[in-house]
């Protein structure tokens, strides 16, 4: 059964329009609060956000909803998504909430929920919350004397900074490293430069002047040009770029060349495998990860187990099968020895620990395998399951037949935007381009027919 409000990563949409309205946020607070009120203890929810203007709209609405059902609210202000997950566990809260649309522009916003264990909620629990939102909020209201209270946790950034620093190996520092960090004018604009500086690095911070509108705008992991240029200009050893809520990480080397999530996972997984720390016999990633990554791991005697797109599905598979390294090509990297969700800063520090150990530049450490040509294209549409249309399926089948065992095709709807995402991968770059053109043309043709 599909969900009405929740997508692949919480509820997301244009701020102050359905479903990202104050009314819906109020309902989410009441419904999620009732879902997690269990037992006789005083119940508590942690609410964090990124730097979008619309956070001022959604935060008080969510707070009112939780207070209305008798749950106390702890407000931590702009904080990375993984920080909220950590604080939810650390404070023994019953629920964690992040108000963020991650890598999307400022016009969008979203609501992500974490359970008391710091993990994102399952599809089933999200369906139960949706049912409460539509069918039973009145009966869940607390009596006047049982209303919740709201307070602010002033030392939340410091708690997270110290937690992240403790994940870096003892007796090692970042002395001698010059690092450019691009914080996307988002939730990590204070904590990320602080962590790196306190570990000894010379830090050049950009994307640290949020104004409510400029989150992810020409900066961060979705637009790395500014970071790459600054690395070259400053003669830095590397660049780090996070997205608006700092659960996603990309890097560049000293020349400004990019290192994506697949390569970053390789660095950590190979190091941990060598130390006997890697669990599960490999890495968990999504169907989007490069075939070159899978082949390289195979050469080490390790597996790459793939899931549907979305870091929550990666985490679910990791938990079920006992893996401790997983993530996405886009930069969500989950290291369950330290975190319950993607954490850009922890992933960056684990990568930096390998660089310190090897005393090698990123250009050498970060490129131990060659990517198989992979191209992706997004087709915007006005609705419907276009990828299931017969004409699109025929184009997909034709592409797979031509690629055989030396390539892959993936066509899927976005879980957060009205897009059909098309990916074609294979050893023959010219063939990949041609097949990508064929499939996207088929999707566009079907879309035009549906509109007319």
Q: CB of 102 within 8 A of CB of 323?
A: no
Structural domains in the chain (count): 4
In angstroms, the CA 341 to CA 319 distance is 11
Of 325, 341, 365, the domain-final residue: 365
Do 91 and 126 fall within a single domain?
yes
* Predicted TM-score of the model (pTM): 0.91
In angstroms, the CA 250 to CA 446 distance is 35
Say how far residue 451 (Cα) sits from the centre of its chain: 32
Residue 40's CB is within 10 A of a number of other CB atoms, namely 6
Do 307 and 184 fall within a single domain?
no
122 token code pair: 């399952």
Please report, for the chain, how many H helices and E strands are present, in that order. 14, 18
* Catalytic site includes residue 285: no
- The pLDDT profile of the chain, 452 residues, written as one tens digit per residue, is 567 899 888 999 999 999 999 999 999 999 999 999 988 899 999 999 999 999 999 999 999 999 999 999 999 999 999 999 999 999 999 999 999 999 999 999 999 999 999 999 999 999 999 999 998 787 789 999 999 999 999 999 999 999 999 999 998 999 999 999 999 999 999 999 999 999 999 999 999 999 999 999 999 999 999 999 999 999 999 999 999 999 999 999 999 999 999 999 999 999 999 999 999 999 999 999 999 999 999 999 999 999 998 898 999 999 999 999 999 999 999 999 999 999 999 999 999 999 999 999 999 998 889 999 999 999 988 777 888 899 999 999 999 999 998 899 999 888 767 889 999 999 999 999 999 999 999 999 988 876 54
Residue 386's CB is within 10 A of a number of other CB atoms, namely 22
Of 231, 258, 285, the domain-final residue: 258
Of 101, 121, 154, the domain-final residue: 154
Please tell me the predicted confidence (pLDDT) of residue 2. 67
62 token code pair: 């969510």
Cite the DSSP H helix spans in 119-204: 123-135, 156-165, 191-198
Is 92 exposed, middle or buried (CB count within 10 Å of its CB: 0-12, 13-18, 19+)? exposed
Does the residue 188 lie in any domain? yes
Do 273 and 393 fall within a single domain?
no
Do 30 and 140 fall within a single domain?
yes
Please tell me the predicted confidence (pLDDT) of residue 88. 98
338 token code pair: 């330290």
Do 351 and 220 fall within a single domain?
no
CATH number at residue 399: 3.30.310.50
Does the residue 171 lie in any domain? no
Do 148 and 214 fall within a single domain?
no
Does the residue 168 lie in any domain? no
Of the listed 100, 102, 330, 447, which one is catalytic? Answer: 102
C-alpha angle 12-15-19 in degrees, rounded to nearest 5? 50
Do 123 and 17 fall within a single domain?
yes
CATH number at residue 33: 3.40.120.10
Strand 95-99 and strand 44-49: pairing? parallel
Do 282 and 349 fall within a single domain?
yes
Q: CB of 297 within 8 A of CB of 269?
A: yes
* Residues listed for the chain: 452
Do 117 and 148 fall within a single domain?
yes
Q: Is 155 helix (H, G, I), strand (E, B) or coil?
A: coil
Please tell me the predicted confidence (pLDDT) of residue 310. 87
Does the residue 163 lie in any domain? no
Does the residue 2 lie in any domain? no
Does the residue 166 lie in any domain? no
Does the residue 161 lie in any domain? no
Q: What is the dihedral of CA 215, 221, 226, 230, to 10 degrees?
A: 120
> Residue 88: which of 131, 130, 43, 127 has the closest Cα?
43
Do 254 and 282 fall within a single domain?
no
Say how far residue 254 (Cα) sits from the centre of its chain: 25
> Residue 303: which of 313, 316, 312, 317 has the closest Cα?
317
Say how far residue 71 (Cα) sits from the centre of its chain: 27
Do 185 and 237 fall within a single domain?
yes
310 token code pair: 């979305």
In angstroms, the CA 243 to CA 4 distance is 26
Range of the domain at 214: 176-258
Do 332 and 390 fall within a single domain?
no
> Residue 401: which of 376, 429, 424 has the closest Cα?
424
Does the residue 170 lie in any domain? no
């Amino acid at each position: 059964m599909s969900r009405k409000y929740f997508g692949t990563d919480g509820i997301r949409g244009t701020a102050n329009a359905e479903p990202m309205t104050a009314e819906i946020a109020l309902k989410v607070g009441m419904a999620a609060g009732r879902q997690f009120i269990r037992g006789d203890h005083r119940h508590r929810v942690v609410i964090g956000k990124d730097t979008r203007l619309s956070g001022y709209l959604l935060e008080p609405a969510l707070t009112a909803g939780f207070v209305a059902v008798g749950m106390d609210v702890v407000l931590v202000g702009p904080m990375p998504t993984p920080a909220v997950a950590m604080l939810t566990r650390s404070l023994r809260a019953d629920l964690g909430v992040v108000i963020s649309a991650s890598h999307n522009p400022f016009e969008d916003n979203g609501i992500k929920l974490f359970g008391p264990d710091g993990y994102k909620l399952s599809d089933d629990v999200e369906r139960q919350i949706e049912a409460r939102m539509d069918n039973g909020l009145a009966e869940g209201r607390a009596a006047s004397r049982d209303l919740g209270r709201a307070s602010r946790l002033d030392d939340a950034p410091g708690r997270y900074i110290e937690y992240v620093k403790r994940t870096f190996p003892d007796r090692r520092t970042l002395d001698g490293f010059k690092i450019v960090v691009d914080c996307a004018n988002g939730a990590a604009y204070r904590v990320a430069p602080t962590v790196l500086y306190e570990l000894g690095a010379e830090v050049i911070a950009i994307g640290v002047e949020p104004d409510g509108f400029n989150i992810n705008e020409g900066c961060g992991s979705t637009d790395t040009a500014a970071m790459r240029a600054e690395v070259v200009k400053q003669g830095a050893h590397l660049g780090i770029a996070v997205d608006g809520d700092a659960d996603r990480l990309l890097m560049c080397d000293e020349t400004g060349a990019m290192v994506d999530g697949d390569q970053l996972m390789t660095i950590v997984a190979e190091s941990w495998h060598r130390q006997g720390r890697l669990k599960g016999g490999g890495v968990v990633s999504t169907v989007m990860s490069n075939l070159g990554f899978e082949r390289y791991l195979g050469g080490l005697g390790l597996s790459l187990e793939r899931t549907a797109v979305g870091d929550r599905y990666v985490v679910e598979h990791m938990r079920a099968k006992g893996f401790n390294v997983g993530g996405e090509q886009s930069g969500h990297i989950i290291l369950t020895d330290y975190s319950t969700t993607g954490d850009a800063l922890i992933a960056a520090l684990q990568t930096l620990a390998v660089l310190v150990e090897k005393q090698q530049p990123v250009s050498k450490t970060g490129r131990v395998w060659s990517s198989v040509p992979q191209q992706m294209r997004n087709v915007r549409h006005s609705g419907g399951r276009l990828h299931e249309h017969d004409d699109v399926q025929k184009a997909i089948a034709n592409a797979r037949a031509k690629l055989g065992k030396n390539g892959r095709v993936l066509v899927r709807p976005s879980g957060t935007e009205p897009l059909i995402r098309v990916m074609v991968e294979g050893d023959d770059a010219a063939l990949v381009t041609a097949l990508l053109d064929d499939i996207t043309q088929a999707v566009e043709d079907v879309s035009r027919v549906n509109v007319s």
